[in-house]
Amino acid sequence: MKLTIEHWLRLTNYGAWIDGQTLTQDITSAEALFRSQAFNYAKFFKMDQLCKWAWLGTELLLNRIESSIKQSYNKSQIAVVFVTAEGCMEVDKRYRQSMHTIPSPALFVYTLNNIMLGEVCIRHGFKGEQACLSSKDFDADELFFWAADLLTHRGMDACLLGWINMSNHQPDLCLFWVTQSGKGQPFSIQSLQQLYSTNGFM
């Protein structure tokens, strides 16, 4: 079985790149990027920043392959694995402050790292295996292990895999669409690290 990275996205506050091609180099905020792409999803504006960037990155990447997903994949066999460092720390701090008066239910729902995973799966109807992990840095070994196991041993046909982090209010995303199709770049620890390290500049 040959696992490959069919598509990938790199997104930082410096810009967004899909498969090495520049999407935009003018990212001022999640909301600005959302509007610039003419997305229509009212729930977006209720999300915390981590969820907004996870949602945006996924949307941008999957827009390239949406027809393929609908035609070729059973959504019960599409896995999602996200890794983060800071997670929802920003919301955790705000929620703790709100506890001095009346705890905010609107903030509470975003005090779990895996909420971003839920938002993405709800949006696209993915029902396969899911995991949200923590790591202090981008860890190509960890990402490779999970996706390779899910696709090789757990009956998954595709995996939305990636690093999604917010630090000092700045996004740092690297997402990969990994499949068994044999189309694209070979899936390896080295290829994951290389694509993350390019920052989109090829």
117 close to 58: Cβ distance less than 8 angstroms: no
Reply yes or no on whether the pLDDT at 41 is more than 60.
yes
Provide φ and ψ at 201, rounded to 5°: -90, 115
Instruction: Give the pLDDT of residue 3.
Output: 96
Contact 156, 79 (CB under 8 A): yes
Q: Is the pLDDT of residue 18 over 70?
A: yes
Residue 117 tokens, joined: 């995973």
If pLDDT is split at 50, 70 and 90, which confidence band does 48 have? confident
Residue with the bigger pLDDT between 110 and 162: it is: 162
- Cβ–Cβ under 8 Å, residues 61 and 177: yes
Q: What is the pLDDT of residues 125-160, one digit of tens each?
A: 999 999 999 899 999 999 999 999 999 999 999 999
Instruction: Give the pLDDT confidence score for residue 26 in this predicted structure.
Output: 80
Domain boundaries, the chain: 4-197
Q: What is the mean pLDDT of residues 86-109?
A: 55
pLDDT for residue 80 is more than 70 = yes
pLDDT confidence bin for 69, thresholds 50/70/90 = confident
Write down the pLDDT at residue 108.
Answer: 47
pLDDT digits (tens, 9 = 90+) for 151-200: 999 999 999 999 999 888 889 999 999 998 878 899 999 999 999 997 65
Which DSSP string do the residues of 49-91 spell out, in sequence order? HHHHHHHHHHHHHHTTTHHHHHHH--GGGEEEEEEESSTTHHH
Looking at domain 4-197, does it have CATH number 3.40.47.10? yes
The 10 Å Cβ neighbour count of residue 132 is 19
Let me know: does 6 contact 177? Beta carbons within 8 Å. Answer: yes
**For residue 112, what pLDDT is reported?**
59
User: Which of 50-54, 56-60, 139-143, 196-200 shows the lowest mean pLDDT across its residues?
Assistant: 196-200
